[in-house]
Amino acid sequence: MTRYCLVGRVDPERLEDYREAHRAVWPQLLEALRDAGWRNYSLFLRDDGMLIGYAEVDDLAEAQARVAATEVNTRWQAAMAELFAGEGAPDEAWDVVPEVFHLEDQLRAYESAGGAR
């Protein structure tokens, strides 16, 4: 499973609307995300509108495509579109940030090379 960091931008004037929508995401969308392979998915929102997503999936493009093919996602994206800064569908506007460090990976490598525990 690969870890992904995703960055987007919410309209700073719509932050509370965005937070409110995510307090109780539609159950059908939760199921669609799970069934498409999204795991350990979290969103973090700064007060300036910077949105950071974290997810673990086997293949990000495939997981995104599987969710995008659902009717519930089409409705959710239409509802969320007015809350985002910029053009295009919110679920397509993510920038992927490459991972450069993961504690557990490095600890495993160190310990498997005979490092002290």
Catalytic-residue membership of 102: no
- Give the integer Cα–Cα distance in Å for 30 and 62: 17
Nearest to 2 by CA among 65, 62, 90: 62
Nearest to 53 by CA among 40, 65, 68, 62: 40
Question: Side chain identity at 92, as an amino acid letter?
Answer: E
Q: Give the DSSP H/E element, type plus range, for residue 31.
A: helix 27-35
Catalytic residue among 3, 22, 46, 108: 22
SS (H, E, C) 60-80: HHHHHHHHHCCHHHHHHHHHH
Active site residues: 22
